Structure 1
């Protein structure tokens, strides 16, 4: 009786496993703990954006390096070299961001796989228990106990029907284990890529620091008026009510400077007084359309123009989260109108591009340019802090905010 119950129990376990459907997980919809509420699709989009930034920075670095090689003037050559190195730093930062995104995606897939394997574990445990119950009966008893041979024949017939189903059900488990090994290999590749990108960035940062030192030494004899101009900008900052008022004051000062620069020189004395006339009108050569523009830092966009932040203030520009110590560049050509700390905004830059166009960059930690410096697009202008930083970029035309998204190809 006990023998029959043992066999029946084992057969019931086998049949229960054969009837069990192993569940499948929806990776796209699954949000596991530790993913900050983002979906797999969002993380994949972040990876694509980082790769696009890396390709853009690499192309820019190649172009600037070629310009540096072709430059005949030593100062221009050094300037282009510095811009090329800054572009390579941003390429490395984008590669770091891409590697981190890959690691996050792989970690999500591994957690999803662990959840699926946990769900599949229970049927496998039942199968193992059933086989163990059958194995407890020694085979030698089949020769001496009545009915043992017929029971064995019956068991073999049942196993002949159940084992193909078991093999089919465990095929998914074997595939999961193979995917697990592939994920581990991919995770190692992503970790190696992250390590290489970090080493590349450090190498380029050392090179850029050396170039900036050379630039400062070469320009020290031409800084006679820089201190006075910087003091004027700081005085405007102290009188400004807020950062918007500061930009308005600087725009007014820049507009006055542009008008004075466009004034013609003294007219020659006419041969006859009655022939004296007004100076010929000059065409206004200031650009009317938006300047060619690029984002000053590599990072993930977290706040768009017009969005309301946590403080309830509607954003006038874009906010990006960057890597620690990220490189900042001039988004387009212009003249530094303000450079220094301002209230709670950290180190800020205001760049006058002419024609009423100005850029504000806030949240920097260290500046590598001064008031009065002329910058070209891509010139290094500063770096962020030792932690991940929120960098805000605002573009204005005659005091009115302009949406940057269409200008940088993110629309």
Structure 2
């Protein structure tokens, strides 16, 4: 029975070990794609947008590769411990058999239950040999899988090293491109917007005040047609949907996106950057105007890479989230990302039309 259980365990083990290997391969492919895109990068109007996506792709691939490498190491430790236990148990069995072999033949025939008991004992002893063979085959399979895992782990670590160098180069190229564009002249209403921010008690009131100062850019009809086709500014998952009730009882008027490893935030649609700066518990915010009557607010930023008054093209960088935090805009992520093995970065996304909040999720391509 023990040998059968061991065989069943070994049959199931490759599927268990294959999952992190598959994830590592997918992450490596994503990193390789980012590296190829970086090599093919050329000057042009969409250079910044390309760099924004390349950095995001590198960061997402590296996060997935780190997780796969952790899982490979964990699986390797589990198998090593299992093999050590089996080796110890087999050593005890072989030691007992060795003692039997050294016992004189006539003594082996003596059994408390007489000849029939001796015969049954001999039959039981005969069944030990096939079981030992199965156990030995199981140990051999464990050793093979351990070797495979060691190879996969080395490959994952090599991909991580190359990916880290690649994302470093991509960030340098992005920074150089941003610096080469120069900062635009400060908009004439910059001081007014700062005063409006200081006087507003809530993000809603600030957004309504901004809507009155709108400087139309783009076509509202085009933006309406983009519903359901935009890419999230931060590739991740929506962990707090529109209408979520915050701990203080307030109804959330946007969504919270959580992403692992990715720091780069990009514009989901071409828009004028109306305002950037700290705001209450939203961290630094960036207020984009994608079309007349529309405002897109991104909160939780640690670094803003663009200046008010700039027209930010779709896919171009807006800012970065360099810190992991437990909450943003009143929403708390459980468990606390600071104590989680996979810390996440949180981005608050709010969309308003005519000052009225609408569910941003309907504008983005999000998974089920």
1:86 corresponds to = 52
| 1:147 and 2:143 aligned | no
Structure 1 residues 123 and 285, CA, compared in 2 at 3 Å: closer, same or farther? closer
Contact 2:10 2:138 in 1 (8 A): no
Q: How far has the Cα of 1:348 moved from its partner?
A: 1.0
2:347 corresponds to = 391
Structure 1 residues 298 and 290, CA, compared in 2 at 3 Å: closer, same or farther? closer
Select the structure of larger CA radius of gyration: 1
2:358 corresponds to = 401
Contact 1:317 1:395 in 2 (8 A): no
| 1:246 and 2:210 aligned | no
Contact 1:230 1:372 in 2 (8 A): no
Partner secondary structure for residue 290 of structure 2: strand
Match of 2:192 among 232, 252, 276: 232
Aligned length: 332
1:178 corresponds to = 144
Q: How far has the Cα of 1:102 moved from its partner?
A: 1.0
Task: Kindly provide the CA deviation profile for residues 164-183 of structure 1, in whole angstroms up to 9, marking residues without a partner as x.
Answer: 22102332222122212211
Partner secondary structure for residue 408 of structure 1: coil
Structure 1 residues 60 and 369, CA, compared in 2 at 3 Å: closer, same or farther? farther
Any unmatched runs of 5+ in structure 2?
111-118, 325-343
Structure 1 residues 176 and 294, CA, compared in 2 at 3 Å: closer, same or farther? same
1:208 corresponds to = 174
Structure 1 residues 227 and 133, CA, compared in 2 at 3 Å: closer, same or farther? same
Partner secondary structure for residue 296 of structure 1: coil
| 2-structure distance, mates of 1:317, 1:117 | 48
Q: Equivalences for 1:107-186 in 2 at 5 Å? A: 107-113=73-79, 116-117=82-83, 120=86, 123-134=89-100, 147=106, 161-186=127-152
Match of 2:299 among 362, 378, 383: 362
Q: How far has the Cα of 1:406 moved from its partner?
A: 6.2
Any unmatched runs of 5+ in structure 1?
1-16, 29-39, 69-76, 263-282
Structure 1 residues 348 and 52, CA, compared in 2 at 3 Å: closer, same or farther? farther
| 1-structure distance, mates of 2:250, 2:29 | 29
1:296 corresponds to = 233
Q: Equivalences for 1:272-291 in 2 at 5 Å? A: 287-290=223-226
Task: Kindly provide the CA deviation profile for residues 319-343 of structure 1, in whole angstroms up to 9, marking residues without a partner as x.
Answer: 223437x222111111112111212
Query: Of the two structures, which has the highest relative contact order with CA contacts closer than 8 Å and spacing of 6 or more?
Result: 2
Alignment RMSD: 4.3
| 1:319 and 2:254 aligned | no
Task: Kindly provide the CA deviation profile for residues 39-71 of structure 1, in whole angstroms up to 9, marking residues without a partner as x.
Answer: x89x97x959x8599489859958x946x4xxx
Partner secondary structure for residue 389 of structure 1: strand
Contact 2:282 2:300 in 1 (8 A): yes
| 2-structure distance, mates of 1:116, 1:328 | 44
Q: How far has the Cα of 1:208 moved from its partner?
A: 1.4
1:188 corresponds to = 154
State the TM-score, normalizing by the size of structure 1.
0.66
Structure 1 residues 197 and 302, CA, compared in 2 at 3 Å: closer, same or farther? farther
Contact 1:295 1:331 in 2 (8 A): yes
| 2-structure distance, mates of 1:106, 1:299 | 23
Task: Kindly provide the CA deviation profile for residues 177-202 of structure 1, in whole angstroms up to 9, marking residues without a partner as x.
Answer: 22122112212211221222111111
| 1:102 and 2:84 aligned | no
Partner secondary structure for residue 332 of structure 1: coil
2:283 corresponds to = 346
1:274 corresponds to = none
Q: How far has the Cα of 1:284 moved from its partner?
A: 8.2
Partner secondary structure for residue 336 of structure 1: strand
